[in-house]
Structure 1
């Protein structure tokens, strides 16, 4: 069903489960900037919670599966997927990080796909990981990321190749994902994608099947981003499950924007000035380290968490109380507190 001048159907357009909190807010930002009302829940919502947002165009759940085992996923993901699928979105997404860091034992994207495809009727599972705005690029199935203007293949990336839990030792996402699932994995590459119509009407039908294969879609630039969005949206059928980064949101928005179905210019509500702001950081990224250094130089009250104390049940509550007290004292004195667990790798 469409309305005059708008090819987007009424109601929910996309629902997603995010494998961590920050990634979930990333997806929320893209949809909100596209002018689409988005709601993010911190746990699987019940009907009363959902009922508060009848006009939402996108609904997400911020999860923690990125650091969990396949056994944890088997217990916790199906109820979340079933709840979201019951809302009848045309697209159900398992939102992953655009650096794809995962392994068969921790944060298995393959296991999440095997669980998620059961919730949707589609006969393929598109995967969009590249996101040019985030300096993430997928070419011929291989993932690249830029740091300080220099592009790196993921298995040679200065940070992700050295991740303490899920180091990326393979940039070819077909091979990397193939370690996590026995599901068939296919690719629509950047050359095929630029020949748009033939991909949709010739290439993709030959890939689909009752086994619901994963179909990786290359994204290099704005052209391929838009074509990826077109391919997913036009070929969603009665509904598909997609394990993708926020590249999926960017791709859909690019396609919808090209047709005039959403505002031409992305925009977010402007936040007004406030006396203080509280921040918490749990990232080991060099980029985050630079942000912490900036905050320290600009008057934030910067306090590092004592990790051994937090990880010890005997001292955890005392350390948390110390951090809260220090942050509260900073706010009372007119300073912005920043509590962090690491400053760089």
Structure 2
């Protein structure tokens, strides 16, 4: 038995915060009690959340070096093993973007297998529910109405830190680990038997294209003879397990329905995303009456200028809330935005690594969020961008998150648990750059983005 007093089905470490809430959403909406910690929990924190089926720890390793992983991931994996789960997962992005020097999934697997053990390490990345498919080892992803192999995806092939230039995940991962890597394509799934695996704990990718292959992949992992397995997977693992559990009766075929979120008086959106999908969402919100405020990214990323820029943005937000219920603060709208070029130029001038400049922007937005929640009495906050979400939530006095309401697939509204009254009960949605429909920010606000005259009527 685990420290929580019952068998835990799955425990995972998320390599960024948006992906962590995406994974939490899948099991929570299936009816499994799921909690996500914002850091490795101590005994007192864990005691407040006993009896859950699934536990997660949200992290920021997607933006970190292998050396950082060596220093931080083993303790996180050891904490998960102490919960005595059947599976330990390193939750990765469904686009699998990573590199040997930043967010190395290979290094995470080597560390995780070393802690968790197991004769093999399965990996499920395809998740049709998110517009992700894996066929013959190659990953495909949706972008608007079209689907692309990941190395031809209009956003992920141009990711500013970890561009995907290889569609075959086996070849991509081989640049990050010396561990044997294999794959089971969807043609061979039915006949695959993990008991016949040989070699030093190879990574084995399982194709997922449709409901049948998804449920079969979940069956292969869950019914494997290993006492415990380590899996570096997207939320495709959660989707596959839920599909299998429904087929076998462990979960009901019809999941419980969470209530829709009520409108709030005002909503603040903080975006560090450079995705064109997020750009469309910002434009849609502006058309619906949101106010959009652009950061001076050079000032925000420069320590000597950041405090003055934060004061400027704070006053701009205050003024915007006089005329709009929804306010968006954003760094750039895409990699073609002049602000992106300006940040690159600053890095070239000063010698500051671009990743450090992006990290500074995330911490800037985190400080802004910490001030804004009590100042404006916010009940709901939306963050766009995976790395940005991590930096912002780390800046807030929040211990754990639970899914409260659906919003868009992959980005639910989460209830915050905090010892601080201003943050306890705060609702937060962490939206990855590739996630959500054009109206996601409008849906998060609820109702029309009415002018200030309507705020008093809304109870603000």
TM-score w.r.t. structure 2 length? 0.69
Shift, 1:98, TM fit: 0.7
- What is the CA–CA distance in structure 2 between the aligned matches of 1:63 and 1:191, rounded to whole Å? 35
Please tell me whether the aligned partners of residues 186 and 207 of structure 1 are also in contact (alpha carbons under 8 angstroms): no
Please tell me whether the aligned partners of residues 289 and 324 of structure 2 are also in contact (alpha carbons under 8 angstroms): no
- Is 1:292 the counterpart of 2:282? The answer is yes
- What is the CA–CA distance in structure 2 between the aligned matches of 1:85 and 1:62, rounded to whole Å? 16
Equivalent positions of 1:77-96 (< 5 A) are 77-96=73-92
- Is 1:313 the counterpart of 2:309? The answer is no
Of the three residues 203, 211, 216, the one matched with 1:227 is 216
- Is 1:199 the counterpart of 2:188? The answer is no
Of the three residues 249, 252, 264, the one matched with 2:238 is 249
Please tell me whether the aligned partners of residues 13 and 91 of structure 1 are also in contact (alpha carbons under 8 angstroms): yes
- Is 1:341 the counterpart of 2:331? The answer is yes
- What is the CA–CA distance in structure 2 between the aligned matches of 1:48 and 1:259, rounded to whole Å? 36
Q: Note the residue ranges of structure 1 that are not aligned, 5 or more in a row.
A: 2-8
- What is the CA–CA distance in structure 2 between the aligned matches of 1:327 and 1:43, rounded to whole Å? 30
For 1:60, the equivalent position in structure 2 comes to 56
Please identify, of 100-109 and 305-314, the stretch whose mean Cα deviation from structure 2 is larger: 305-314
Q: Give the root-mean-square deviation of aligned CA atoms.
A: 1.8
- What is the CA–CA distance in structure 2 between the aligned matches of 1:154 and 1:239, rounded to whole Å? 31
- Is 1:217 the counterpart of 2:210? The answer is no
Please tell me whether the aligned partners of residues 116 and 229 of structure 2 are also in contact (alpha carbons under 8 angstroms): yes
For 1:126, the equivalent position in structure 2 comes to 122
Output one character per residue of 1:273-293: Cα deviation in whole Å (capped at 9) or x when no partner. 222222222211111111111
- What is the CA–CA distance in structure 2 between the aligned matches of 1:183 and 1:326, rounded to whole Å? 52
Shift, 1:190, TM fit: 0.3
Equivalent positions of 1:164-183 (< 5 A) are 164-183=160-179
- What is the CA–CA distance in structure 1 between the aligned matches of 2:227 and 2:312, rounded to whole Å? 52
- Is 1:98 the counterpart of 2:94? The answer is yes
Please tell me whether the aligned partners of residues 184 and 205 of structure 2 are also in contact (alpha carbons under 8 angstroms): yes
- What is the CA–CA distance in structure 2 between the aligned matches of 1:23 and 1:337, rounded to whole Å? 24
- What is the CA–CA distance in structure 2 between the aligned matches of 1:93 and 1:123, rounded to whole Å? 15
For 1:34, the equivalent position in structure 2 comes to 30
Please identify, of 316-325 and 248-257, the stretch whose mean Cα deviation from structure 2 is larger: 316-325
Shift, 1:298, TM fit: 1.1
Number of aligned residue pairs: give it. Answer: 331
Going from structure 1 to structure 2, the CA distance change for 1:212 and 1:324 (only over 3 Å counts) comes to: farther
- Is 1:322 the counterpart of 2:335? The answer is no
Output one character per residue of 1:15-35: Cα deviation in whole Å (capped at 9) or x when no partner. 111111111111011111111
Please tell me whether the aligned partners of residues 141 and 173 of structure 1 are also in contact (alpha carbons under 8 angstroms): yes
Please identify, of 309-318 and 89-98, the stretch whose mean Cα deviation from structure 2 is larger: 309-318
Going from structure 1 to structure 2, the CA distance change for 1:298 and 1:46 (only over 3 Å counts) comes to: same
For 1:259, the equivalent position in structure 2 comes to 248
Of the three residues 116, 131, 135, the one matched with 2:112 is 116
Please tell me whether the aligned partners of residues 41 and 61 of structure 1 are also in contact (alpha carbons under 8 angstroms): yes
Going from structure 1 to structure 2, the CA distance change for 1:43 and 1:328 (only over 3 Å counts) comes to: farther
For 1:143, the equivalent position in structure 2 comes to 139
- What is the CA–CA distance in structure 2 between the aligned matches of 1:324 and 1:72, rounded to whole Å? 33
Q: Secondary structure at the match of 1:315?
A: helix
- What is the CA–CA distance in structure 1 between the aligned matches of 2:270 and 2:49, rounded to whole Å? 28
Q: Secondary structure at the match of 2:187?
A: helix
Please tell me whether the aligned partners of residues 128 and 216 of structure 1 are also in contact (alpha carbons under 8 angstroms): yes
Q: Secondary structure at the match of 2:45?
A: helix
TM-score w.r.t. structure 1 length? 0.91
Output one character per residue of 1:43-91: Cα deviation in whole Å (capped at 9) or x when no partner. 1111111111112111111111111111111111111111111111111
For 2:386, the equivalent position in structure 1 comes to none
- What is the CA–CA distance in structure 1 between the aligned matches of 2:50 and 2:211, rounded to whole Å? 33
